[in-house]
C-alpha cells in the first residue's frame, strides 16, 4: 500500500457559474522513504495540490489517503515548508522553532523542548543566529529556520512547496544539499514542489510534471535512476541526467506550445509610419 | 576589596549598556551638526513670532483707534487725548482686549512661573500651620485638613494629565477587549457595528452630558466632588473608538500565512489567539491607541470646561471669563502648553508603536 495516495482528486474554486476547476483527475502514489518532485509552471495549481495533501484544503471530490487513512485537516505527521517561509516576525529563531516543538511534543518539559529546538537549529547551521528576529536574517537563513521548524516536529513526511523559489542560485544549491543531507539521514518520505527541472532531477527519485491549470493534471512520471549522493558537476555529464532532463523539458515545452497555440489569434496592425519616413 | 570594585564596575557597564539599548530603541540619535536642520526651523520660528507680533500690534492699534474715535465723538477732544495717553503709557488699567503680543505672553509665562513658587510657599506654610492640628486629627481617627487654596498652573496641568491618563486607561480596558472579541466573531461584529458607527461621531460635549446624567444619578446623595470622575469617563468614552475599530480590524485581518502556520502547527484556539492573532495585530492596536491618546487630549479641554474639573479646560474658560489685563495672554500660554504636551504624548506613543510594529515582509 502506498504511503500517500491521491485518488481521482478534483478541486474547484468558486461555485456555479464562476466555478473554475483548478485540479482535475489527479492520481498519485508515493511510497515510504521516497523523494518525489512535482514540476510545473507558475500558476499551474501546485500550491493547491500541496494544500490538499497537507490538509489545509479539502478536495471537491476524490480522496487523499495518508498511511491508508483519509486526510482530515492538518497533522503533525506531515511537516510543511511554505513557499514564503511564513515565519512569525515577532518571534526569534528559537521561539519560532520552539512553538512547533511545543505543539508536537506537548508532554515534555521545557528543557527538552529547548534542547530539541537547539538541535534542529544546529542542524540547519543557525546556532549563531538563534536569538535573532527573522528581519535580521537573509532569505536563505529564513528558509533554513522554516526547514528547522518543519523538521522539529519529527514529521513522517515532509512536504515542500517551492521552498527555494525565492532564493539566489548559490544559496539555492547550498540549501538543496542541506535538505538532501537531512533527508538522507533518516529517509523520511518527501514531496517537493518546484518549478526548476534541474532541482527536481538533482533531488528526487521520481519527477512528475503537472500540466498547467485550469484543469491541471499530472503527466507521465520520470524515474531518476542516478545513484546518491549525486554530484552537481558530474551530473551534467551523466547520460541519464541528460536524457531525463531533455524528456521532461520537451514534455513541458510541448504543453507550453499547446497552450500558446490555443491562445493564438491574428492581430491586424495599424497602418502607421513615423512622420520622417518616406512612405514607399 | 578590589574584587568588589571590579564587580560594581561591570554592573555599571551593564547598566550603561542597558541604557544605551533603551535609548537606541527610543530613537534618540546623537544630534549630528546639520546647519540646514537647525537654521530652517529657527528661521520659521522667528518668522512666526514676527508675524504674530505684527498681527497683534495691528489688532491693538485698530482697537485703540476705534476707542479714541468713540471718545472723541462722545466726550470731546480732551477725553480722547487722555485715553490716547493712557494707552500709550501701557498701564494695566488701559489695556486692549485683543490678541496679546509675544512679549505679553512671555510676561504671562513668567507670572505663572512666579505664581507657582508663591503657591508652593502657601502650601508649605499651610502644612506647617496645620501640622499640629492634623497630627491630633489623625490620632483621633479623623481625616486631616488638606490645602484647598488656589492651584498653581503646574497643579492645573497635572490635573489635566491625570484626567487624560485615567481616560486613556478606561478607553484601553474597554476598547481592546471588545475589539478583540468582535474582531474574532463576524456575527458579533455585525451585531455591534451599528452601535459603533452611530456613537463614533458623537461630540465630546454630548458624551459629557450623557456621562453626567448617569454618574450624577449613580452618586446621588454623596457630596464628594465627582468632576474628575465625570471628566475622565467622558474623555475615555469619547476617545476609545479609534482603538476599538483598529483592534477589530487588526484581529479580523490577520495574514493568511500566519493562520496557515497556526493550522499546520495545530495550535489550539486559545493558543492561536494569544500566539498568532494578538501579536500580529499589535501594530494596528497601538496605532489605534496613539490616535485615542491624541483625541483624548484634544477633547479634554472641552470636557474639563463643562465638568468644572480644575484642569486646563477650566483654566482657559475662567481666564476668558474674568477678563483681567493678563487673561488673554494666559490663554495663549495655556494653548502652547496644551500643544506641547499633546506633541510629547504623541511622540511617546509613536515610540511604543515603533517598538511593537514589524513589517509583514520581515517574516518572508
Verify that A117 and A195 share a domain, yes or no: no
User: Do the Cβ atoms of B362 and A99 come within 8 Å?
Assistant: no
Tell me the Ramachandran region of residue A43: left when phi exceeds 0, alpha when psi lies from -120 to 50, beta otherwise.
Answer: left
* B199 within a domain of the structure (yes/no): yes
246-305 of B, contacting A, C-beta below 8 A: 257-258, 260-261, 263-267, 271, 275-276, 279-280, 282
Verify that B73 and B195 share a domain, yes or no: no
Give the domain extent around B75.
Answer: 2-90
* B175 within a domain of the structure (yes/no): yes
Question: How confident is the prediction along chain B (364 residues), in pLDDT tens digits per residue?
Answer: 444 444 455 666 667 776 666 666 665 555 556 777 888 889 999 999 999 999 999 998 898 889 889 888 888 888 888 888 888 877 777 778 888 889 989 999 999 999 899 998 988 888 888 888 888 888 888 888 888 878 889 999 999 999 999 999 999 999 999 999 999 999 999 999 999 999 988 888 899 999 999 988 888 888 777 888 999 999 999 999 999 999 999 999 998 889 989 988 888 889 899 989 999 999 899 999 999 999 999 999 889 988 888 899 999 998 888 877 788 899 999 999 999 999 999 999 998 888 887 765 555 5
The side-by-side arrangement of strands in the sheet containing A20-30 is A20-30, A4-13, A61-66, A69-70
Give the domain extent around A146.
Answer: 87-153
**Cell of residue B351, nine digits:** 515610540
Domains in chain A, number: 2
What phi and psi values does residue B51 have, to the nearest 5 degrees?
A: -65, -40
SS3 A229: coil
User: Do the Cβ atoms of A103 and B279 come within 8 Å?
Assistant: no
Q: What is the CATH number of the domain that holds B184?
A: 1.10.3720.10
> Measured between CB atoms, which of B257, B263, B265 is closest to A99?
B265
User: Do the Cβ atoms of B364 and A90 come within 8 Å?
Assistant: no
Nearest residue of A to residue B254, measured between CA atoms: A88
List, in order, residues 6 or more apart from B26 with CB less than 8 Å away.
B351
pLDDT of residue A165: 78
Verify that B185 and B61 share a domain, yes or no: no
* A3 within a domain of the structure (yes/no): yes
pLDDT of residue B32: 59
Domains in chain B, number: 2
Interface test with B, best of A76, A88, A153 (most B CBs within 10 A): A88
> Measured between CB atoms, which of B263, B282, B360 is closest to A74?
B263
Verify that B85 and B177 share a domain, yes or no: no
CA distance B343 to chain A (A): 29
Distance of alpha carbon A243 from alpha carbon A229, whole angstroms: 19
Verify that A34 and A121 share a domain, yes or no: no
* A214 within a domain of the structure (yes/no): yes
* B145 within a domain of the structure (yes/no): no
CB < 8 Å to B254, chain A: none
Verify that A35 and A120 share a domain, yes or no: no
Verify that A47 and A146 share a domain, yes or no: no
Could you tell me the CA-to-CA distances from B119 to B41, B149, B328 in Å, in that order? 36, 9, 22
Verify that A130 and A255 share a domain, yes or no: no
Verify that A187 and A250 share a domain, yes or no: yes
Domain final residue pick, A153, A170, A185: A153
**Cell of residue B337, nine digits:** 502648553
Closest alpha carbon to B188 in B260, B121, B119, B251: B251
Verify that A137 and A204 share a domain, yes or no: no
pLDDT of residue B144: 81
* A190 within a domain of the structure (yes/no): yes
Verify that A65 and A110 share a domain, yes or no: no
Weakly modelled stretches of chain A, pLDDT under 50: none
Is residue B150 reached through a cis peptide bond, with omega within 30 degrees of 0 on the bond before it?
Answer: no
Nearest residue of B to residue A159, measured between CA atoms: B264
* A238 within a domain of the structure (yes/no): yes
Verify that B82 and B159 share a domain, yes or no: no
CA triple A73-A88-B171, angle to 5 deg:
105
What is the 3 state secondary structure string of chain B? CHHHHHHHHHHHHHHHHHHHHHHHHCCCCCCCCCHHHHHHHHHHHHHHHHHHHHHHHHHHHHHHHHHHHHHHHHHCHHHHHHHHHHHHHCCHHHCCCCCCCHHHHHHHHHHHHHHHHHHHHHHHHHHHHHHHHHHHHHHCCCCCCCCCCCCCHHHHHHHHHHHHHHHHHHHHHHHHHHHHHHHHCHHHHHHHHHHHHHHCCCCHHHHHHHHHHHHHHHCCCCCCCCHHHHHHHHHHHHHCHHHHHHHHHHHHCCCHHHHHHHHHCCCCHHHHHHHHHHHHHHHHHHHHHHHHHHHHHHHHHHHHHHHCCCCHHHHHHHHHHHCCCCHHHHHHHHHHHHHHHHHHHHHHHHHHHHHHCCCHHHHC
Report if pTM > 0.80.
no
Verify that B278 and B174 share a domain, yes or no: yes
* B114 within a domain of the structure (yes/no): no
Quote the ipTM score: 0.80
Which residue has 495518508 as its cell numbers? A66
CA distance B276 to chain A (A): 8
Closest alpha carbon to A75 in B273, B263, B258, B277: B263
Q: What is the CATH number of the domain that holds A66?
A: 3.40.50.300
CB < 8 Å to A79, chain B: 264
Verify that B200 and B299 share a domain, yes or no: yes
Verify that A122 and A161 share a domain, yes or no: no
* A59 within a domain of the structure (yes/no): yes
* B14 within a domain of the structure (yes/no): yes
Domain final residue pick, A131, A153, A175: A153
Domain final residue pick, A115, A137, A153: A153
Verify that B258 and B341 share a domain, yes or no: yes
Verify that A257 and A225 share a domain, yes or no: yes
pLDDT of residue B333: 93
* A82 within a domain of the structure (yes/no): no
* B303 within a domain of the structure (yes/no): yes
Chain A touched by B364 (CB under 8 Å) = yes
* A166 within a domain of the structure (yes/no): yes
Across the A:B interface, residue pairs with CB atoms under 8 Å apart total: 61
Domain final residue pick, B90, B117, B134: B90
Amino acid at each position: 500500500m502506498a504511503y500517500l495516495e491521491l485518488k481521482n482528486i478534483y478541486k474547484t474554486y468558486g461555485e456555479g457559474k464562476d466555478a473554475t476547476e483548478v485540479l482535475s483527475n489527479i492520481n498519485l502514489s508515493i511510497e515510504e522513504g521516497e523523494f518525489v518532485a512535482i514540476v510545473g509552471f507558475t500558476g499551474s495549481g501546485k500550491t493547491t495540490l500541496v494544500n490538499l495533501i497537507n490538509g489545509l484544503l479539502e478536495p471537491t471530490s476524490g480522496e487523499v489517503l495518508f498511511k491508508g487513512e483519509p486526510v482530515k485537516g492538518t497533522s503533525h505527521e506531515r511537516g510543511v515548508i511554505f513557499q514564503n517561509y511564513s515565519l512569525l516576525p515577532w518571534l526569534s529563531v528559537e521561539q519560532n522553532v520552539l512553538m512547533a516543538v511545543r505543539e508536537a511534543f506537548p508532554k515534555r518539559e521545557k528543557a527538552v523542548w529547548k534542547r530539541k529546538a537547539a538541535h534542529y537549529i544546529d542542524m540547519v547551521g543557525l546556532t549563531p543566529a538563534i536569538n535573532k528576529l527573522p528581519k535580521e536574517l537573509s532569505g536563505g537563513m529564513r528558509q533554513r529556520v522554516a526547514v528547522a521548524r518543519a523538521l522539529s516536529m519529527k514529521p513522517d513526511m515532509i512536504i515542500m512547496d517551492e521552498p527555494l523559489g525565492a532564493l539566489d542560485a548559490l544559496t539555492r544549491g547550498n540549501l538543496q544539499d542541506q535538505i538532501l543531507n537531512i533527508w538522507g539521514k533518516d529517509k523520511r518520505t518527501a514531496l517537493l514542489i518546484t518549478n526548476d527541472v534541474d532541482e527536481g532531477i538533482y533531488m528526487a527519485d521520481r519527477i512528475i510534471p503537472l500540466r498547467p491549470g485550469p484543469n491541471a493534471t499530472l503527466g507521465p512520471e520520470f524515474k531518476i535512476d542516478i545513484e546518491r549522493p549525486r554530484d552537481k558537476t558530474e551530473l551534467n555529464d551523466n547520460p541519464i541526467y541528460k536524457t531525463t532532463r531533455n524528456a521532461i523539458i520537451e514534455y513541458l515545452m510541448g504543453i507550453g506550445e499547446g497552450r500558446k497555440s490555443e491562445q493564438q489569434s491574428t492581430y491586424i496592425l495599424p497602418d502607421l509610419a513615423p512622420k520622417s519616413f518616406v512612405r514607399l | 576589596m578590589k574584587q568588589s570594585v571590579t564587580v560594581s564596575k561591570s554592573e555599571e557597564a551593564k547598566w550603561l549598556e542597558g541604557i544605551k539599548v533603551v535609548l537606541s530603541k527610543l530613537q534618540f540619535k546623537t544630534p549630528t551638526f546639520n546647519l540646514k536642520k537647525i537654521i530652517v526651523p529657527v528661521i520659521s520660528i522667528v518668522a512666526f513670532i514676527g508675524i504674530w507680533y505684527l498681527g497683534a500690534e495691528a489688532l491693538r492699534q485698530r482697537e485703540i483707534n476705534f476707542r479714541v474715535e468713540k471718545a472723541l465723538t462722545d466726550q470731546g477732544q480732551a477725553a480722547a487725548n487722555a485715553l490716547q495717553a493712557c494707552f500709550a503709557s501701557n498701564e494695566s488699567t488701559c489695556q486692549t482686549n485683543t490678541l496679546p503680543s509675544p512679549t505679553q505672553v512671555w510676561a504671562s509665562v513668567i507670572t505663572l512661573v512666579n505664581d507657582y513658587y508663591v503657591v508652593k510657599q502657601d502650601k508649605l506654610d499651610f502644612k506647617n500651620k496645620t501640622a499640629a492640628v492634623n497630627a491630633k486629627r489623625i490620632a483621633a481617627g479623623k481625616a486631616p485638613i488638606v490645602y484647598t487654596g488656589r492651584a498653581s498652573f503646574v497643579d492645573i496641568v497635572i490635573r489635566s494629565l491625570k484626567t487624560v491618563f485615567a481616560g486613556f486607561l478606561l478607553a484601553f480596558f474597554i476598547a481592546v477587549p471588545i475589539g478583540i472579541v468582535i474582531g474574532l466573531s463576524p456575527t458579533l461584529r455585525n451585531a455591534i457595528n451599528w452601535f459603533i458607527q452611530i456613537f463614533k461621531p458623537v461630540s465630546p460635549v454630548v458624551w459629557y452630558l450623557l456621562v453626567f446624567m448617569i454618574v450624577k444619578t449613580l452618586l446621588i446623595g454623596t457630596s464628594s466632588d465627582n468632576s474628575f470622575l465625570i471628566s475622565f469617563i467622558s474623555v475615555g468614552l469619547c476617545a476609545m473608538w479609534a482603538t476599538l475599530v483598529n483592534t477589530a480590524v487588526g484581529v479580523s485581518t490577520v495574514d493568511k500565512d500566519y493562520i496557515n502556520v497556526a493550522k499546520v502547527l495545530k495550535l489550539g484556539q486559545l493558543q492561536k489567539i494569544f500566539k498568532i492573532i494578538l501579536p500580529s495585530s499589535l501594530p494596528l492596536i497601538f496605532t489605534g491607541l496613539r490616535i485615542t491618546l491624541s483625541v483624548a487630549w484634544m477633547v479634554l479641554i472641552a470636557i474639563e470646561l463643562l465638568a468644572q474639573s480644575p484642569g486646563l479646560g477650566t483654566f482657559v474658560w475662567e481666564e476668558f471669563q474674568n477678563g483681567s489685563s493678563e487673561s488673554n495672554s494666559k490663554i495663549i500660554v495655556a494653548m502652547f502648553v496644551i500643544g506641547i504636551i499633546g506633541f510629547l504624548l504623541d511622540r511617546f506613543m509613536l515610540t511604543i508603536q515603533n517598538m511593537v510594529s514589524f513589517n509583514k515582509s520581515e517574516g518572508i
